[in-house]
Amino acid sequence: MKFLKFKRLAAAALAATMVFSLAACGTPGEPANSGDDDAAKTEASADEAEAPEASSDAEKPEAVSEEDWAAMQKEPVFGTEIHYLFNGGACVSAKYMAEVQGYYKEYGINATYMEGESVVNNVGTGQCMWGTDHIATMLVPVTNGVKMTFVAGAHIGCKSIFVPADSDIKTVEDLKGKKIAIHDGIGNSDQNITYRLLDEYGIDPTKDVEYLDIADSAATVAAMENGEVDASIFSDYFVLANYKEDMRMICSITYSPEFQDEPCCVTAMNNEIIEKNPVHAKYVVKAIKRAGEFNRMHSEEAVQAMYDTDKMTGEKADQQVFWDSLHFGLSDAFTEKALREIAEDYIRLGIITAKDMTVDKVMEMAWTPLCPDSEIEGLTVGDPVETENAGVPVKQNEKPAKDEKFGLSK
């Protein structure tokens, strides 16, 4: 396989632009915390926010009921600036689009994003109220006691296993005995996703392949070119933007029919903040669900908004194809069903190792739907497959952007 040198350089540049500066989420105007001080300072901040004096003169938003508004004014975060984690990019964009479109403000919520490295670290410790990430990244930490829970499904897909275009590997079954590159460490999201992809097609992911942890995507491309690895899991966008003619997709959580019935990413929220601010939390989820629908049904406008606010780079045509593949805005029924199946797989495959963990225990810890889809007037969802008891209509973008050169190998 011949990958041009300039492509590797371009890929390295792309990888850099896909990551925002990693400033942790802290109190406005204060530097980010790290180390052992985090928990103490977070706890102190929570105590300070226990009982702000709510202004009785605050005007009730039209979109909030009298009962809910009265309850919101008694909650600790009322009238304060609430932070959520946003690292940029399409996958986690709905919570940011809710701010851009003014949905939070419609509910009297002053929400603004903070840049940070990890949903688990920042949302789990309460430094930010909510964030979005892979189920494959967050589910194990939740079962190990990280204090957050999933409140809404975000979208399907976004990662696939690729091989060089001229590889002898033609099917998933051909990956048996091969070396597969992952990018975020052994036991983390890339490997967890790869485990389930291989398991679906009858390959024992714990015995039948070898994993190589290569942190940098561009370095992985070089390793594939040199024959050091046979395949790699990548973000679909990374390959679409750089290597769509040089690599072939073998299996995918985006395009493989077997994985069209589950979300890739979910929105997580801090447990303690939910407990102390349940009405704010409900309206935050309501805003995010509306934004998910906007992302799906007005995708060109949504992508343009990302460019206009400097939250997206690269060729717009590629970003649009990637965006439209994600089916933003999933029903709670769709997300809950998939979470049960994923939890069952994780326990069976030894990914979840917490003692005496069952699917029901995982669901109790990890799934807390705060705002039923049916309570959001006119809401539609993007479930790619029919889900029993979804309770709201499914409606898809009728003209999604596509690239005929990108997708599963024929």
Q: Give the residue from 163, 177, 174 showing the smallest Cα distance to 1.
A: 163
Query: What count of other Cβ atoms lies within 10 Å of the Cβ of residue 50?
Result: 8
Phi, psi of 105 (to 5 degrees): -65, -35
Q: What angle do CA 200, 319, 84 make, to 5 degrees?
A: 80
Q: What local confidence, expressed as pLDDT, does residue 319 receive?
A: 98
- Residue 262 vs residues 216, 256, 266, 408: alpha-carbon distances, Å: 27, 11, 11, 18
CA distance 402 to 381: 20
Asked if 142 contacts 366 with a C-beta cutoff of 8 angstroms, the reply is yes
Q: What is the DSSP-derived secondary structure letter of residue 59?
A: P
Spatial neighbors of 63 by CB under 8 A, at least 6 apart, are: 106, 107
Q: What pLDDT, on the 0 to 100 scale, is given for residue 3?
A: 46
β-pairing, 231-235 vs 159-164, is: antiparallel
C-alpha closest to that of 143 among 343, 370, 348, 369: 343
The residue to which tokens 């979470």 are assigned:
339
Which of these, 264, 285, 262, 269, lies nearest to 337 by C-alpha position? Answer: 262
Rounded CA gap, 72 and 313, in Å? 38
Report the predicted TM-score, pTM, of the whole model to 2 decimal places: 0.87
Tens-digit pLDDT profile for the chain (410 aa)? 544 333 444 444 444 444 433 333 333 333 333 333 343 333 434 433 444 444 556 899 999 999 999 999 999 999 999 999 998 899 999 999 999 999 999 999 999 999 988 999 999 999 999 999 999 999 999 999 999 999 999 999 999 999 999 999 999 999 999 999 999 888 899 999 999 999 999 999 999 999 999 988 999 999 999 999 999 999 999 999 999 999 999 999 999 999 999 999 999 999 999 999 999 999 999 999 999 999 999 999 999 999 999 999 999 999 999 999 999 999 999 999 999 999 999 999 999 999 999 999 999 999 999 999 999 999 999 999 988 889 999 999 999 999 999 999 76
Q: Could you tell me if 137 and 187 are in contact, meaning their C-beta atoms sit under 8 angstroms apart? A: no
Strand, helix or coil for residue 333 = helix
